[in-house]
């Protein structure tokens, strides 16, 4: 039994209301004690975290690992290493692999491949419909047994509303969560930028905000009929957040997340057709971006995710309209969450705000609660998945600094705060800088 003592660190554990200097004692892969050592405790390894923050390992609600099927873009090995470098110990992967995750055997194979890597915990989402084609439902019960934590359509909206209603009724019967990215199947289809003055000036086809809001109206009506629990992925607009706020007030069992890039960037960041700023959903107006930041603060937005989508040079270094959408994010999630906290602290310097703890919650305990997975907490007896980071150390985002095979991000060249010093998975130091 290996024992570990993390001492002198600033422990931030939002799930248990801890935010202060506390030691952490780990034995047998689990948290043994917080604060003072249990009687007779002897540490095999002592980690001095003076000046560092010790938090639960990050929980990422959307990371495409590109396996199976897209190994030329990234491999399980490269992306799970990127996760560790980013302090991410649990990640949810969407079902849009090739083949699609619609068969229990494929899910079991992915889980097995991920387990043999001895890196972050991988939690797959199963396909809601066979082949993500939106026609016939998958065997959700079998997929859940194989290890799926919910069901999604990734970027493929279901055209037939009856199919979506049946899927939600089925999911509700068994208590499964349906993960949907709200987008109308027709409005804005083929669009590549936010519909607005900027897209018009640049001559880019637009994706209007109503593509998101029409889909949300439909989803909420179906929720009222089915009572299914729905998690809304990558909300991008102020109008969408207003609808979600109202649905939560009404008592619908709904949660939502935002991609961490959307917390900071707007359609103006496309600049001179920068393909690195081509993402799905597109970056929207400054008003939308400000609404996302406010929604994180007031709890309308439950979590931030990296929306990690590695794209290779052949598909990214193209004219804006032809470039594949997507950006690497696993290694940026922590820094961009901290940037939100810093911006918020500057804007609202009132006492009692604890912006750092708020940011940590959005990428640990809140995200784990949404996904329904046992993570994001350092309570005694919980699995010791831990991220130790220096919130003030600065680094420059460059291809060389990223372990992910996906080197494309709109933040290339930016200087960000927050460097992961160690990532601990199940009590073992899996990464140390």
3-state secondary structure 132-159: HCCCCECCHHHHHHHCCCCEECCCCCCC
What average pLDDT does the segment 251-273 reach? 97
Residue of 96, 307, 366, 385 marked catalytic: 307
Mean pLDDT computed over every residue of the chain: 96
Q: How confident is the model at residue 424 (pLDDT cuts 50, 70, 90)?
A: very high
- The pair phi, psi for residue 375, each rounded to 5°, is -155, 175
Task: State mean pLDDT over 374-385.
Answer: 97
The SS3 call for residue 127 is: strand
Contact criterion met (CB below 8 Å) for 361 and 115: no
pLDDT of residue 344: 83
Q: Is 385 a catalytic residue?
A: no
Give the pLDDT confidence score for residue 353 in this predicted structure: 62
* pLDDT at res. 350: 64
| Confidence check: pLDDT of 406 > 80 | yes
Average pLDDT, stretch 143-172?
A: 97
CA distance linking residue 278 with residue 257, whole number of Å = 19
Helix boundaries (H) for 193-332:
197-202, 210-226, 238-250, 286-298, 313-316
Residue 199 · residue 278 · CB < 8 Å: no
According to the model, what pLDDT value does residue 135 have? 97
Q: Does position 230 have pLDDT exceeding 90, yes or no?
A: yes
What whole-number distance in Å separates Cα of residue 249 and Cα of residue 176?
22
pLDDT number for residue 345 = 78
pLDDT digits (tens, 9 = 90+) for 306-339: 999 999 999 999 999 999 999 999 999 999 999 9
pLDDT of residue 399: 95
pLDDT band at residue 142 under the 50/70/90 scheme: very high
Q: Could you report the per-residue pLDDT of 81-108, keeping only the tens digit for each?
A: 999 999 999 999 999 999 999 999 999 9
Of the pLDDT bands very low, low, confident and very high (cuts 50, 70, 90), residue 354 is confident
Residue 348 has pLDDT above 90, yes or no: no
pLDDT band at 292 (very low <50, low <70, confident <90, very high): very high
pLDDT band at 349; cut points 50, 70, 90: low
User: Please, which residues have CB within 8 angstroms of residue 420's CB and are 6 or more apart in sequence?
Assistant: 85, 86, 87, 334, 387, 388, 389, 431, 433
């Amino acid at each position: 039994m290996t024992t570990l003592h993390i001492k002198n660190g600033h422990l931030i554990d939002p799930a248990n209301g801890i935010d202060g200097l506390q030691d952490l004692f780990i034995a047998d892969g689990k948290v043994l004690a917080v604060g003072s050592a249990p009687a007779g405790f002897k540490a095999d390894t002592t980690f001095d975290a003076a000046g560092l923050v010790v938090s639960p390992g990050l929980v990422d609600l959307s990371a495409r690992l590109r396996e199976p099927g897209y190994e030329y873009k990234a491999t399980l090995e490269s992306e799970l290493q990127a996760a560790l470098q980013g302090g991410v110990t649990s990640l949810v992967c969407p079902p849009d692999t090739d083949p699609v995750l619609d068969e229990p055997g494929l899910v079991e194979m992915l889980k097995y491949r991920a387990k043999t890597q001895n890196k972050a915990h991988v939690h797959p989402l199963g396909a809601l419909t066979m082949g993500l084609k939106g026609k016939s439902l998958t065997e959700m019960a079998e997929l859940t047994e194989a290890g799926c934590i919910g069901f999604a359509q990734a970027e493929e909206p279901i055209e037939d509303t009856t199919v979506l209603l049946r899927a939600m009724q089925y999911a509700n019967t068994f208590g499964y969560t349906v993960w949907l990215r709200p987008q109308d199947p027709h409005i804005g289809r083929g669009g590549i930028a936010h519909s607005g003055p900027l897209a018009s000036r640049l001559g880019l086809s637009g994706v209007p905000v109503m593509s998101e809001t029409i889909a949300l109206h439909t989803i909420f009506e179906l929720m009222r009929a089915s009572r299914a629990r729905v998690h809304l992925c990558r909300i991008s607009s102020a109008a969408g957040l207003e609808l979600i706020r109202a649905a939560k007030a009404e008592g619908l069992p709904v949660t939502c997340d935002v991609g961490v890039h959307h917390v900071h960037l707007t359609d103006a960041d496309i600049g001179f057709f920068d393909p690195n700023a081509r993402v799905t959903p597109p970056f929207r107006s400054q008003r939308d971006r400000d609404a996302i930041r406010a929604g994180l603060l007031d709890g309308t937005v439950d979590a931030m995710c990296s929306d990690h989508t590695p794209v290779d040079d052949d598909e990214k270094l193209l004219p804006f309209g032809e470039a594949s959408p997507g950006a690497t994010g696993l290694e940026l999630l922590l820094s961009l969450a901290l940037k939100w906290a810093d911006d918020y602290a500057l804007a609202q310097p009132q006492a009692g705000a604890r912006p750092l703890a708020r940011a940590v919650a959005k990428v640990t305990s809140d995200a784990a609660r949404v996904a329904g997975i046992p993570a994001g907490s350092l309570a005694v007896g919980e699995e010791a998945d831990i991220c130790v980071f220096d919130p003030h150390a600065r680094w420059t985002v460059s291809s060389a600094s990223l372990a992910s095979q996906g080197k494309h991000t709109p933040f290339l060249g930016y200087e960000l705060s927050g460097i992961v010093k160690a990532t601990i998975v199940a009590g073992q130091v899996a990464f140390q800088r």
